[in-house]
Structure 1
């Protein structure tokens, strides 16, 4: 389990995250929702040591984040950031193979190749594994990045807005695979996401931020409530339940 305890981050005179606490459990998809500027990506960056926190604690399997050796942390926690700008020309397979770097240091062995094969097959990318990333659609590229994260084979996976600029088909594909990955392999997957309906349909836990503070957290049933969403987003919501899933409309 990853535990966030009273995290705070200040940039200049602005408090971006304030006294935020949460838990990320193995075998579950946790979605972090909230308006633009709510501090979602900042919270995830502090939890993964990408940026320094000003106060609070992060515990990974009861060990403080500061105590983790960088190489060992990379074997426990994988992070896919919101912006993935690749200037060099790589094939899908080459991209996915970077996920093995914490183990191989670039010297891939037979076991590494096997795990790369499995990650590519898991996301149904075998037929395009030799294509270059710049030959792919945005959705296919995003799947390749997620396959790289899968190849890293960590207990914890952070995905910062993995659906950014994707169409519905690829967004569905990614969310279905994220949920399958968490449940099949007992990984804790944490997703920063804007689409409330995707969060509702494919998450086990939802954490809502507003103005840097955690204002709601719990199961889908607990958080996806019209009054709760109205308080978070300051707009009227209607929530209906259909086929066991909660769906939202706003107006």
Structure 2
């Protein structure tokens, strides 16, 4: 479980995130949704200890993110930010291999090579594994980054807008991969999404943010309501039953 208690981040007297109180259950996919500037990415990066909170506490799988040693936390929690600045003269395989660093400290064993190969196969990167990052499309690089994070083999995986740079077809493919990772690999995945319909189709839980606050949290079907979505996004939204489940239609 991920637990946030009275978590606050102040950027100025007029811009504050929180206080945030939330318990995300273990297992499945939890989508963080809401308009731009709602605080979704700030919350995710505080959970991942990439951004200090000004008040409150966060625990992930029983580990306090403030006091747990980085080496230990990296075996519990992995995070992929929106912006990734890797040396472009890395191959895909080398990048994915960085996911093993908390265990190997850079000394890759034969066992680690097998794990790296597992996640290269999982994200269908076999034909690209010897290509350099600067030879890939944005979508191919995004798959490689997600493979790297999964290769860290943590119980909790945080992804900040992993559908960036992906067209609709590749976005669907990515969300299916994440569903399988949650279901078959037993990961708890927290993902920031801009499109509420991807959350509706693939998430088990939805956490809706607005103006730096958590305004709704629950099973996806409980959040996919006309009045709730209209209030969150401040535009008329009608939820209908589509061929693959509930869909939000904007008016």
SS at match of 1:90: coil
Equivalents in 2 of 1:51, 1:12: separation in Å?
A: 16
1:26/1:182 contact within 8 Å kept: no
Structure 1 match to 2:48: 48
- Is the counterpart of residue 235 in structure 1 residue 235 in structure 2? yes
Equivalents in 2 of 1:26, 1:104: separation in Å?
A: 27
Structure 2 match to 1:209: 209
**Mapping 1:1-251, distance limit 5 Å:** 1-243=1-243, 245-251=245-251
Runs of 4+ in 1 over 4 A off after TM superposition: none
SS at match of 1:22: strand
Deviation of the 1:62 alpha carbon: 2.5
Deviation of the 1:73 alpha carbon: 0.5
1:125-174: per-residue Cα shift (whole Å, max 9, x none)? Answer: 11111111111111111000000011100000000011113211111111
TM-score after normalising by structure 2: 0.97
1:49/1:65 contact within 8 Å kept: yes
2:60/2:77 contact within 8 Å kept: no
SS at match of 1:67: coil
* Structure 1 segments unaligned to the other structure (5+ residues): none
* Structure 2 segments unaligned to the other structure (5+ residues): none
Equivalents in 2 of 1:47, 1:237: separation in Å?
A: 30
1:41-78: per-residue Cα shift (whole Å, max 9, x none)? Answer: 10011111111111111112233222211001011100
Equivalents in 2 of 1:62, 1:153: separation in Å?
A: 17
SS at match of 1:115: helix
Deviation of the 1:13 alpha carbon: 1.7
1:93/1:129 contact within 8 Å kept: yes
Aligned residues: 251
TM-score after normalising by structure 1: 0.97
2:88/2:134 contact within 8 Å kept: no
SS at match of 1:21: strand
2:123/2:147 contact within 8 Å kept: yes
Please tell me the root mean square deviation across aligned C-alpha atoms, in Å.
1.2
1:35/1:232 contact within 8 Å kept: yes
Equivalents in 2 of 1:129, 1:202: separation in Å?
A: 28
